[in-house]
Amino acid sequence: MFTTPAFAQATGSSGGPMDTFPFVMLIVLAIVFFMVIRPQQQKAKEYAAMMDKIRRGDTVITAGGFVARVSKVTEGSDEIEVELTETMKVRVLKSTLLSVRSKNEPVKDAT
């Protein structure tokens, strides 16, 4: 009595917000992948390559801030022996190294 025949004419879906939700989620996931996950993976690969190239005579910087010279590298081990002073040799884990300076490579300029 108070309803009009126009309400009875609606057919199919109304194209509500749930129709676009999967598309929007795919876009958000793609952005997160390319802005967060992929750069972290690339940085981890670079770090692993740097750790594999460590050789005797290189200068390393540890996470504790020590600058030391590599005196012994054992293949297949996570540890290296570094020389802090001429009389002090310490074994450190490769995972605690922040940077490796090759003995043939000059220090990079900060500018």
Condensed to tens digits (0 to 9), the pLDDT of residues 72-89 reads 998 888 899 999 999 999
Question: What strands lie across the sheet with 79-83, from one edge to the other?
Answer: 89-93, 79-83, 67-73, 59-62, 97-101
β strands within the chain, DSSP E:
59-62, 67-73, 79-83, 89-93, 97-101
Give the global pTM.
Answer: 0.65
Name the average pLDDT for the chain.
Answer: 83
Residue type, 37: I
Show pLDDT as tens, one digit a residue, over the chain (111 residues).
566 666 555 555 555 667 788 889 999 999 999 999 999 999 999 998 988 889 899 999 999 999 999 999 988 888 999 999 999 999 999 989 998 987 665 556 655
Q: Set out the domains of the chain in order of their start, with CATH numbers.
A: 53-101 (2.30.30)
